[in-house]
Amino acid sequence: MSSGPRDPWELLGTARTVLAVHAHPDDESLSTGALLASLSAAGTRVVLVTATRGEEGEVVPGAVSPEDPRPLEAVRETEIDAATRTLGIAERHWLGTAPALAPDAAPRRYRDSGMRWVREGLAGPSDTAGPDSFSHRPLDQAVADLSALIGQLRPDAVIGYDDEGTYGHPDHVRAHHVTAQACARTGTPLLEVASTPDGGADGAVSSFRWREHPGTAETVRRAVDSYRTQLTVVGPVPGGIAIRHVGGQDDVVALRTGLRLRG
């Protein structure tokens, strides 16, 4: 790993370009919306790469007109475009599409793996995920694709999931492993986002450093509200934005972030 500050926030404070790695459209807003908005507002160039197009997501009833002929992934692409504009993200890419594609490789598409709930708040892999799904495709393909993008952008830091992958979605967990290996291969600092307020799966509360993002509430609310196929915005609450997921689960999009520098 490159030498530099060990405090993740110190590193971000001097970063000119930051790459955020996420699994599906909406993850960038739900997991890191306040963080990315605050970085962009401070003048940092924020780039997003998303692994899948969220093809397996359920749809909030009435969110898409019955006359709309587009497949869900096309609708979700419109949603992510709106959300990234709102957050101030400079550019975004799909993993497996140039420039997020290994040299001399044919373009490839990582499909949403789907999920099932193991218990409340914890997701597991779908029984129907096929061989072209992100969690089942060869790991080295995705690592090579992400490494190519990192090599082109030369970001000062990459932002990704911790070991738990937020709520355990198989695509989030795969994104964590892909990001960790690509950062190790390219010598790029990886800043892991805490999955839970108690510090994630390893319980190492002290390894994460937390920061509030004042002034981001309205930006985050608008970004999250872009994803009307996936959720409904309930409204502001202390410390975040209350939402209801398509499956009926209530959640809060936090306006604070815990980070740790991997390595």
Instruction: Give the other-Cβ count within 10 Å of 205's Cβ.
Output: 14
- What six digits make up the tokens of 105? 């490789």
Cα–Cα distance list, 76 to 57, 69, 130 (Å): 10, 13, 21
DSSP letter string, 17-60: EEEEEESSTTHHHHHHHHHHHHHHHTT-EEEEEES---TT----
Alpha-carbon gap, residue 120 to 191, rounded angstroms: 27
**At a CB cut-off of 8 Å and minimum separation 6, what does 115 contact?**
56, 123, 124, 125, 126, 169, 170, 171
Beta-carbon count within 10 A of 104 CB:
5
CA distances from 256 to 45, 154, 173, 209, 261 (A): 20, 26, 22, 10, 17
Q: Provide the token pair at 197.
A: 């307020």
CA distance 165 to 161: 5
76 near 25, Cβ under 8 Å?
yes
What are the DSSP E strand ranges found in 23-149?
Answer: 45-50, 91-94, 115-119, 122-125
Question: Residue 23 has what pLDDT?
Answer: 98
Specify the residue for token string 């530099």: 4
Rounded CA-CA distance 71/198 in Å is: 38
Q: Domain residues of the chain, as ranges?
A: 8-261
- pLDDT digit string (tens) for the chain, length 263 residues: 344 457 999 999 999 999 999 999 999 999 999 999 999 999 999 999 999 999 988 899 999 999 999 999 999 999 999 999 999 999 999 999 999 999 999 999 999 998 877 776 666 667 777 889 999 999 999 999 999 999 999 999 999 999 999 888 999 999 999 999 999 999 999 999 999 876 544 444 568 999 999 999 999 999 999 999 999 999 999 999 999 999 898 999 999 999 999 96
Class of domain 8-261: alpha beta
For residue 254, the 8-state DSSP code is E
pLDDT at 81: 98
pLDDT at 128: 74
The closest of 127, 128, 197 to 166, measured between CA atoms, is 197
Reported residue count of the chain is 263
In angstroms, rounded to a whole number, what is the distance separating the alpha carbons of residues 45 and 167? Answer: 28
